[in-house]
Structure 1
Amino acid sequence: MIKKLRWKFITITMIIVTILLVSIFVTLYYSTKTGYRQRSMDALHTALKEDFPANNPPPPRREETPVLIADVGTDGTVTITKNRLADTDSSDAGALISLVNEKRKPAGILEEQHLRYLRGNKSPDGRIRYVFSDIYAEQNSLRRQIVYSAVIGFCAFAAFFLFSFFLSGWAVKPVERAWEQQRQFVADASHELKTPLTVILSNAGIMSQPDVVPDEANRLRIERIRAEAERMKQLVESLLTLARSDSGNASAAFRPLDFSFVVNSSIMTFEPLIFEMGKRISYEVDNNIRISGDEKKLRQLADILLDNACKYSLEGGLITVGLTASSGRGAVLSVANEGKALTEHEIKQLFHRFYRADPSRSDVAGYGLGLSIAESIVKEHGGEIRVESEEKGVNRFTVVLPIGDLIEK
């Protein structure tokens, strides 16, 4: 949980940093682009008015942008008034004017020629003026700005990532300390409760004998004490299992094993119980699927999923178990049951401790810890577990575990 909280902190920080960096660089880019365009258009408008009779001629200004001025007479003759474009000959003016006329816009850009153009209105003598400005340097400058922004952005992103990584460790320390204290308390309390519970069960077992307590009513009371102590012992063992998993000190004896045998053994154990409950089971388990893991814990995983399916399936409902091997995915164990369809909210909460998807069904035994233990076992084996619910009420738990070599059949 602490790792998830820390990475969530880092993710939020980096999203904010990314938005800020992108906003800054985009703003700089478009402000620079707007400045270049404005200077270029000023040069074009100034060139458009050159040598034109007017009552208020524009004031002289220093020419900053190379321009080409071409006038087209009424007979289509092209006259070059000024040419300051380094790579454009006067003979190219006709072709440029044709490209401008094809665009049918009074102002725009000729991308391939790296030119910005402006077409004026007809003068009193019928001429039309076309002016062109060189924007090659402008385009190069904008491209360099994009590259520099990308490099600076990447370096800034990396620096902020390192900063947020170390900052997150400092920020979650109080939470980590509280979580560790809580985990230690649960582990210590669970461990300390095991001994008195064992003593209670042992003495209750002795006292339930007819020769020790002849009165049947008292023996019944003792049996109830023993039953409740047994339930409490199961709860304590479940809490202790989760506490060990949280601390990373769970003792798992990993070795190559036949996962098919483990699943089949669990099915054989639950099959009579399922029939007694008036429900049905169908299973299809591929043979000789080898994985590396703790056999005891994997058996517990299969038992938890089958027990959950038994508890929450409808009367007469079908429980389906499948185990297949896939080279791309691994060993895939699925347990499905016909029951009440789960909502999206319930699916998200399902693996939380002490959560019961249907609180109204108080007659269902359990504490809401089984699926939490199943999830911890799956994570310990490097796998994943997910839940799917169909509208028809079929709830399916799917476990994917890394697969070992398949035994030749």
Structure 2
Amino acid sequence: MIRKLRWKFVGIMMTIITIFLVLILTTLYYSAQLNYRSQSMDTLHSAIKEVKEASSGNPPPPAPRSGPPLPAREASPILVADVKTDGSISIVKNRIFSVDNSELEMLIALADQQEGSSGTMKDRHLRFLCDKKRPGGAVRYAFVDIYAEQNSLYWQAIHSVIIGGCAFGAFFIFSVLLSKWAVKPVETAWKRQQQFVADASHELKTPLTVILSNANMLVHTPDIPSGRNHQRIEHIQAEAIRMKQLLESLLTLAKSDSGEQPWEHSRISLSFIVNSSILSFEPVAFDMGKYISSQVEDSIEMDGDEKKLRQLTDILLDNACKYSAEGSTILVSLSRSGPKEALLSVSNEGCPLSEDEMQHIFLRFYRADPSRGGIPGYGLGLSIARSIASEHGARIDVTTDGVKRNYFSVRIPVRLPNTLG
């Protein structure tokens, strides 16, 4: 329980940290991308403006500024070309590379294929701007080389992944260490609670045993006449037996939680265990006016604790007998659901479980239907069944058809059938 709580704490911490890391690194990347794009677009606008003013004979006045001079825009890799109304192309400015008319025509054609007056040609490492407001109907195209921009963004993405991975690993180690400190009070309280339950169960078993022994003696004592006194003694005996069963269940859960419950590991026949449990409960079900129908596949073997698995099967059958409708049939099946997995299913007719009941039915002391208060039990059986299933690496689930039948299924890891002679 504490281990699950620690890993849940680590999972929550890492989810929050991952979201923050992704947001920060993604924001930095897109901020750099927008900054590069803004710079290149400024370069394109400046190139078209400078060429336009230079061709009109009015060079732009130098802008007053303080501080060190900025780098000259002419150093930017720019190509500016005009397309006249007759289709002829003339290069106005070229600071990228030597280009012939066919290559320039192809670049202009690619620019015309894109929507809007600007765009990017990623495969050619170019960004363009189109100025269609030229005298005489001419169109001016400006291209800027963005290879350095793309290269910078590529390496920023690589560095972001590396930094994010290192930060994730560092925060993971920190979260694991922090989780141990964070759950320490819960762990201490949990251990004290389990110790109290175990000690109380042990301490109460002795007086209950004495009460049961004396009640049995009184029942068979001829000095006490049959009648109301005899009935009172039988009531004491019955309630003492119920209390003893409750203490044994609490002790079983306490040992399971603390990991101190003995584990008798051996190769066992799951088919034999299920059949034995069915044979034991058939007369019980018959006395209650109910029937058990079974379909058990032979030779299903596994490594596990025979007593605990028998207890698991008994709990499911006992639960089905208690909560099934009178005159109904309890269905029990055991079969292979995979090469290394067996499926044990126990179903009974009755009031269909709701979604909320199915989520809480394996909790301790939970009773699905308040009207079932007259049915003996404390709501611990299914909790013990889940604990036993977990110890054997199995998974127990409950489903319903929503009409009249509820299904309890246990998926158990088993051995492959022995094919050797």
Band of TM-score, shorter chain: over 0.9
Determine the structure 1 residue equivalent to 2:194: 183
- Counting only pairs closer than 5 Å after superposition, residues 4-403 of structure 1 correspond to structure 2 as 4-53=4-53, 58=60, 61-86=72-97, 88=99, 91-328=102-339, 330-403=341-414
Q: CA deviation at 1:126?
A: 3.0
Range that drifts further, 290-299 or 203-212: 203-212
CA–CA separation in structure 1 for the residues paired with 2:415 and 2:74: 76
Q: Structure 2 regions of 5+ residues with no counterpart?
A: 63-71
CA contact (8 A) 2:340 2:416 kept: no
CA–CA separation in structure 1 for the residues paired with 2:228 and 2:404: 44
Q: AA paired with 1:101?
A: D
CA–CA separation in structure 2 for the residues paired with 1:26 and 1:405: 50
> Tell me, what secondary structure is at the counterpart of 2:18?
helix
Q: CA deviation at 1:214?
A: 3.4
Residues 342 and 65 of structure 1, relative CA distance in 2, 3 Å threshold: farther
Q: CA deviation at 1:122?
A: 3.8
Q: AA paired with 1:39?
A: Q
Q: CA deviation at 1:97?
A: 0.7
Q: Structure 1 regions of 5+ residues with no counterpart?
A: none
> Tell me, what secondary structure is at the counterpart of 1:325?
strand
Q: CA deviation at 1:316?
A: 2.2
Q: CA deviation at 1:209?
A: 0.9
> Tell me, what secondary structure is at the counterpart of 1:263?
helix
Residues 19 and 55 of structure 1, relative CA distance in 2, 3 Å threshold: farther
CA–CA separation in structure 2 for the residues paired with 1:112 and 1:367: 72
- Residues 263-299 of structure 1 show CA distances to partners (whole Å, capped at 9, x for unaligned) of 0011111112222222232211000100111111111
CA contact (8 A) 2:339 2:416 kept: no
CA contact (8 A) 2:340 2:415 kept: no
Determine the structure 1 residue equivalent to 2:417: 406
CA contact (8 A) 2:89 2:101 kept: no
CA contact (8 A) 1:329 1:400 kept: no
Residues 327 and 48 of structure 1, relative CA distance in 2, 3 Å threshold: same
- Residues 145-173 of structure 1 show CA distances to partners (whole Å, capped at 9, x for unaligned) of 11110110011001001001000100000
CA contact (8 A) 1:289 1:407 kept: no
- Residues 228-280 of structure 1 show CA distances to partners (whole Å, capped at 9, x for unaligned) of 11111100100000000010011121100111010001111111222222223
TM-score of the aligned structures, taking structure 1 as reference length: 0.95
Q: AA paired with 1:334?
A: S
Residues 260 and 79 of structure 1, relative CA distance in 2, 3 Å threshold: same
CA–CA separation in structure 2 for the residues paired with 1:58 and 1:278: 104
CA contact (8 A) 2:44 2:129 kept: yes
Q: CA deviation at 1:18?
A: 0.8
Identity %: 56
CA–CA separation in structure 2 for the residues paired with 1:185 and 1:354: 18
Q: AA paired with 1:45?
A: H
CA contact (8 A) 1:48 1:69 kept: yes
CA contact (8 A) 1:209 1:219 kept: no
CA contact (8 A) 1:385 1:397 kept: yes
Query: How many equivalent pairs are there?
Result: 409
- Residues 323-371 of structure 1 show CA distances to partners (whole Å, capped at 9, x for unaligned) of 0123345121011111111122111111111000012221111000000
CA contact (8 A) 1:183 1:247 kept: yes
CA contact (8 A) 1:69 1:83 kept: yes
CA–CA separation in structure 2 for the residues paired with 1:127 and 1:216: 120
Residues 215 and 104 of structure 1, relative CA distance in 2, 3 Å threshold: closer
> Tell me, what secondary structure is at the counterpart of 2:37?
helix
TM-score of the aligned structures, taking structure 2 as reference length: 0.93
Q: Please tell me the root mean square deviation across aligned C-alpha atoms, in Å.
A: 1.8
Q: AA paired with 1:319?
A: I
Structure 1 residue runs of 4+, over 4 Å off?
Answer: 53-61, 87-91
CA–CA separation in structure 2 for the residues paired with 1:374 and 1:59: 88
Q: AA paired with 2:127?
A: R
CA contact (8 A) 2:43 2:73 kept: no
CA–CA separation in structure 1 for the residues paired with 2:227 and 2:256: 43
CA contact (8 A) 1:43 1:63 kept: no
CA–CA separation in structure 1 for the residues paired with 2:40 and 2:149: 9
